[in-house]
């Protein structure tokens, strides 16, 4: 199975941060609820636009002999804020013909986002172009097929849509944070090297906004992952926010310098606010890239 990755272009965090600030005109909960409704509607539109081969029939449940299609697809998005809508089909067409029909009718700008093929089953994923950028994020269409004993092909199609969910007030970096220290060192090091100490309030708040634009990681749906241990040579970058140099830590985010810009269940940034851990943060490598550009640093590995 090829590893799924979701792409967010350089500069994307700055855009999301601005959207997050604009979203605070309403409460985080009401904005998230509205965006989730938009995602549900869009997922339905994505499914309705799928073109199956002639003679295919939609089913309400996986047909007998296709129990493998009951669970969520293994190629998936890994955002906490997303919806997944699916439907089932049965077709006389082969798996490759079904994939060809669907692929040839995808909207312009759609790209392959992973696939896996065996003798009896196949999975294909496609990233769809952005729409409604103030409400929705990454969109993905996943097609899973299973060859049945009677010669027909059973199909499950999932529309997965991320929605933009502003952080709740309790998850945000406290407004009293007036200084930021960026350090680098081995995982678990008690004496990391100070890379930059920032006391300019505008810059501190700008980096805080970039962090708050990152999505929370989730949607593993019971899948188990075998993740490699962090090699000793890989440094960790840590962002520590305080009111003054000697005051208690208000917020801290730590991540590997090799973390990808894309959500991955084996990669996450660890965030704590006033000593309380929040859910893991996805795509933290994008933050490192943005801060590198902003401060002229090299926080990313390589």
Domain co-membership, 105 together with 220: no
Q: Helices 201-212 and 284-295 meet at what angle, rounded to 10? A: 160
Domain co-membership, 272 together with 176: yes
Per-chain mean pLDDT for the chain: 86
Q: Give the pLDDT of residue 65.
A: 83
Q: Is 113 part of a structural domain of the chain?
A: yes
Q: Is 152 part of a structural domain of the chain?
A: yes
> Into how many domains does the chain fold?
2
Contacts by 168-175, CB closer than 8 A, 24 or more apart: 168/28, 168/29, 169/28, 170/273, 171/212, 171/273, 171/278, 172/208, 172/212, 172/273, 173/208, 173/211, 173/212, 173/241, 173/250, 173/251, 173/273, 174/241, 174/250, 174/251, 174/273, 174/274
Q: Give the pLDDT of residue 17.
A: 45
The predicted-structure confidence for 123-177, as pLDDT tens digits, reads as follows: 999 999 999 989 999 999 999 999 999 999 999 999 999 999 988 888 899 999 9
Give the domain range for residue 281. 169-295
Q: Is 108 part of a structural domain of the chain?
A: yes
Q: Give the pLDDT of residue 254.
A: 94
CATH assignment of the domain containing 82: 3.30.530
Domain co-membership, 75 together with 174: no
Q: Give the pLDDT of residue 26.
A: 60
The predicted-structure confidence for 3-24, as pLDDT tens digits, reads as follows: 343 333 333 444 444 444 444 4
Domain co-membership, 207 together with 253: yes
Domain co-membership, 154 together with 178: no
- Domain endpoint, select from 125, 140, 163: 163
Q: Give the pLDDT of residue 280.
A: 87
Q: Is 65 part of a structural domain of the chain?
A: yes
The predicted-structure confidence for 239-271, as pLDDT tens digits, reads as follows: 999 999 999 999 999 999 988 777 777 778 899
d(CA 138, CA 125): 13
Q: Is 239 part of a structural domain of the chain?
A: yes
Residue 72: both structure tokens together: 């969520």
Domain co-membership, 58 together with 148: yes
Tell me how far CA of residue 269 lies from CA of 40, 106, 195, 236, in angstroms: 28, 34, 18, 10
């Amino acid at each position: 199975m090829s590893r799924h990755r979701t792409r967010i272009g350089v500069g994307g965090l700055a855009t999301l941060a601005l959207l997050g600030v604009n979203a605070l005109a309403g409460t985080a909960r009401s904005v998230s609820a509205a965006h989730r409704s938009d995602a549900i509607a869009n997922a339905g539109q994505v499914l309705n636009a799928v073109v199956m081969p002639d003679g295919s029939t939609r089913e309400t449940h996986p047909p007998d002999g296709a129990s493998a299609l009951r669970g969520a697809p293994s190629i998936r998005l890994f955002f906490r804020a997303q919806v997944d809508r699916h439907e089932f089909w049965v077709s006389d067409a082969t798996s490759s013909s079904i994939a060809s029909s669907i692929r040839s009718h995808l909207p312009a700008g759609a790209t392959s986002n992973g696939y896996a093929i065996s003798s009896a089953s196949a999975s294909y994923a496609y990233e769809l172009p952005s729409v409604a950028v103030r409400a929705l994020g990454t969109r993905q269409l996943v097609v899973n097929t299973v060859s049945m004993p009677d010669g027909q092909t059973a199909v499950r199609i999932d529309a997965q849509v991320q929605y933009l969910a502003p952080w709740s007030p309790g998850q945000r970096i406290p407004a009293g944070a007036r200084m930021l220290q960026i350090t680098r060192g081995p995982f678990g090091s008690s004496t990391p090297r100070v890379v930059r100490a920032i006391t300019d309030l505008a810059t501190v708040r700008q980096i805080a906004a970039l962090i708050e634009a990152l999505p929370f990681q989730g949607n593993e749906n019971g899948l188990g992952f075998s993740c490699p241990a962090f090699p000793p040579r890989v440094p960790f970058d840590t962002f520590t926010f305080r009111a003054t140099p000697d005051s208690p830590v208000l917020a801290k985010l730590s991540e590997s310098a090799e973390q990808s810009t894309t959500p991955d269940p084996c990669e996450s940034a660890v965030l704590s606010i006033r000593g309380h851990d929040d859910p893991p943060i996805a795509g933290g490598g994008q933050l490192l890239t943005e801060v590198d550009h902003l401060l002229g640093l090299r926080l990313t590995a390589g």
